Structure 1
Amino acid sequence: MYGPERQQEILRLAREAGRVEVLSLADRFQVTAETVRRDLTALDRAGLVRRVHGGAIPAGRLDFEPDLTEREGTAADEKGRIAAAALTQLPDGGSIVLDAGSTVARLAAGIPADTALTVVTHALPVAARLAGHTGIELHLVGGRVRHRTRAAVDAWALRAYAEIRADVLFLAVNGFCPDRGLSTPDLAEAAVKRAAIGAARRVVLLADSAKAGREHFARFASFTEVDLLITDTGLAPEQQAAIEAAGTEVVLV
């Protein structure tokens, strides 16, 4: 089977099943896993599928939300560089809000031991990483915990963010578009993100470039509300220019 024929069959399988896995495709077509990854990359670049950890999903599934394990394994190198760059944005002895997201969790893990900060978060994985940090005054926002993201949502979380004013919010996102803004699959999660934006004087978005151009069901902000985007060098120049035109500073790492 020629490459284009195999890719067409992969696309058919993805649309029928909602997801395809690299190893199962390699076994099905009797090719190497690397060949399948190249096929998926070609389909991703054509806008027909979206690469996820271990495979791909049809590009049209805007409601798809990978679980925590998948997100942590996707674009790991890029997320590491973004988190390291975000450390320079920590206020000296001030207060921050840490959103629920795998890149933000990497930032939390990288906060130096001698740092003195007040930290507010509704993300259980972030709180777990910082609970033993003696220099941090940690405030955990409560609410209903979503299984996929381990994040607190709904009325309790919204009320908590309405009562504070932090120096910096480190924000996570599932997808962003220069013109249509920031989005996530879940309405409850979007509401908490919107409340967290309102609770901070400065908003720093941490997002790898694979999320550029992705649009999900629940829109929660525009780039006019974001002061700084830290992303990787995969961001297209035209996308960077459009984001900067909205007044957002862009740092590529």
Structure 2
Amino acid sequence: MYAEERQQAIAASVARRGRLSVTELAADYDVTTETVRRDLTVLERAGVVRRVHGGVVPAESLAMIEAAVAERDSSHAMEKDRIAAAALALLPEDHGTVLLDAGTTTTRLAALLPRDRQLVVVTNAVPVAARVAGLPQVELRLLPGRVRRTTQAAVGSETVAALGSLRADVGFVGTNGLTAEHGLTTPDAEEAAAKRAMVHAARRVVVLADSSKLGVETMTRFARTQEVDVLITDHGIGHDDRQRIRRAGVEVVLA
């Protein structure tokens, strides 16, 4: 098979099957991994595929527009409800400080905060702030920054700088993708910077992610898997994913 024919076949296979690893492609076409990497470089330059850690995905899977908040809120709703409820067990004691990231699951958690516990809640998310602003037991601190329309999260240098001076007992963080090898990712660079600052500001980092986010890599990494203390997800997580994440030192809680 000529290189051009193999490259066309690889492009078709990736489009049909989604993410594929370099070793899988080398076995499929009986060539070395170095040959596959050269083919993928050609295809990426042509805009057909996008290289990710250890493999390749269709270009459109990383270039896609983020779903609006209302659309994301209706996706995997039951799983998100259970994940938010499970997260209550990891809240700090009275007068603790909680960081709540933007996201549909963190917003659910905000709605479930116990009425008998005094908490300081720091967030960059407009929906989260709206949920807790009227709660008498919560001292709300809203981070500064430009609010993104897609996620309704404050981002930018002001957000990152404000987080740099904070230290929270626990941070509840959302993610668009998580793999044991590459870590936590999100499509927008500014939102990634805010999430990264949250991870660094929290003594304990808890990721709230339904199983559809696992095995997914989007454009920008904001944390390595080893920086996470706990992952709360649903029973849809695959056995291999769960084992790899646990080997990275992360406690996996199934809700």
TM-score by length of 2: 0.76
SS in 1 for 2:78: helix
Structure 1: give runs of 5+ residues left out of the alignment: 1-14, 16-42, 49-57
CA contact (8 A) 1:224 1:246 kept: yes
- Residue of structure 2 in register with 1:88 after alignment: 89
Structure 1 position 59, deviation (Å): 8.3
List 4+ stretches of structure 1 deviating above 6 A: none
Q: CA RMSD in A?
A: 1.7
Amino acid at match of 1:84: A
Give percent identity, aligned residues only: 52
Amino acid at match of 2:62: L
Amino acid at match of 2:118: A
Structure 1 position 61, deviation (Å): 1.9
Structure 1 position 113, deviation (Å): 1.9
**Inter-partner Cα distance in structure 2 for 1:70 and 1:156:** 28
SS in 1 for 2:114: coil
**Inter-partner Cα distance in structure 2 for 1:177 and 1:60:** 19
**1:232 equivalenced with 2:211 (yes/no):** no
TM-score by length of 1: 0.77
**Inter-partner Cα distance in structure 2 for 1:77 and 1:130:** 22
Structure 2: give runs of 5+ residues left out of the alignment: 1-14, 20-57
- Residue of structure 2 in register with 1:147 after alignment: 149
- Residue of structure 2 in register with 1:102 after alignment: 104
**Inter-partner Cα distance in structure 2 for 1:252 and 1:182:** 18
Structure 1 position 118, deviation (Å): 0.6
Please tell me whether Structure 1 or Structure 2 has the larger radius of gyration of its CA atoms. 2
How many pairs align?
A: 202
- Residue of structure 1 in register with 2:67 after alignment: 66
CA contact (8 A) 1:47 1:59 kept: no
Deviations 1:112-156 (A, max 9, x none): 222210110000000000000000011000101100000000011
Structure 1 position 63, deviation (Å): 3.0
- Residue of structure 2 in register with 1:164 after alignment: 166
**Inter-partner Cα distance in structure 1 for 2:59 and 2:103:** 21
Amino acid at match of 1:108: A
Q: Which residues in structure 2 correspond to 1:80-229 (within 5 Å)?
A: 80-93=81-94, 94-229=96-231
Structure 1 position 214, deviation (Å): 1.0
